[in-house]
């Protein structure tokens, strides 16, 4: 969508949960979803090496899924509005999936769920 690498997000049973863009480089991680008007259904931005985000300048609310280094969901925060200076995932978090509120099925991935990623 924005020139970033893409991958599928898989549930523990191998079913596809969604698709994500991967923000691994410094400027991609820094920019995040700034300037975007929204995201499609079942789509997220995966920010690597990240345990906290901000929503300053965002145009839509976010659902945030924080993950440990082994892909386990450590924390889910729903419907975070624009303008927050700091939203943290906790000390065990190593990366975050950012999705537009209501666009992904958060009930399918409670904390402790291990997600895997497959480049497509």
**Would you kindly state where each structural domain of the chain is located, as residue ranges?**
6-119
Q: pTM for the whole thing?
A: 0.95
Burial profile 31-68: b = 16 or more Cβ within 10 angstroms, e = fewer: bbbeeeeebeeebbbbbeebbebebeebebebbbbbbb
Q: What is the CATH number of domain 6-119?
A: 2.60.120.1140
pLDDT in tens, 77-111: 999 999 999 999 999 999 999 999 999 999 999 99
pLDDT in tens, 5-30: 999 999 999 999 999 999 999 999 98
Pairing of strands 16-23, 43-47: parallel
Residue 3: what pLDDT?
A: 85
Between CA 73 and CA 94 the distance in angstroms is: 10
């Amino acid at each position: 969508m924005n020139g970033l690498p893409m991958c599928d997000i898989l549930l523990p049973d191998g079913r596809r949960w969604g698709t994500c863009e991967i923000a691994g480089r410094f400027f991609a991680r820094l920019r995040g979803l700034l300037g975007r008007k929204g995201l499609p259904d079942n789509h997220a931005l995966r920010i690597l090496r990240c345990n906290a985000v901000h929503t300053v300048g965002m145009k839509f609310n976010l659902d945030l899924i924080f993950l440990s280094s082994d892909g386990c969901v450590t924390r889910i925060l729903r419907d975070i509005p624009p303008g927050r200076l700091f939203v943290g995932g906790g000390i065990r978090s190593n990366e975050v999936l950012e999705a537009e509120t209501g666009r992904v099925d958060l009930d399918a991935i409670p904390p402790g769920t291990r997600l895997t990623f497959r480049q497509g």
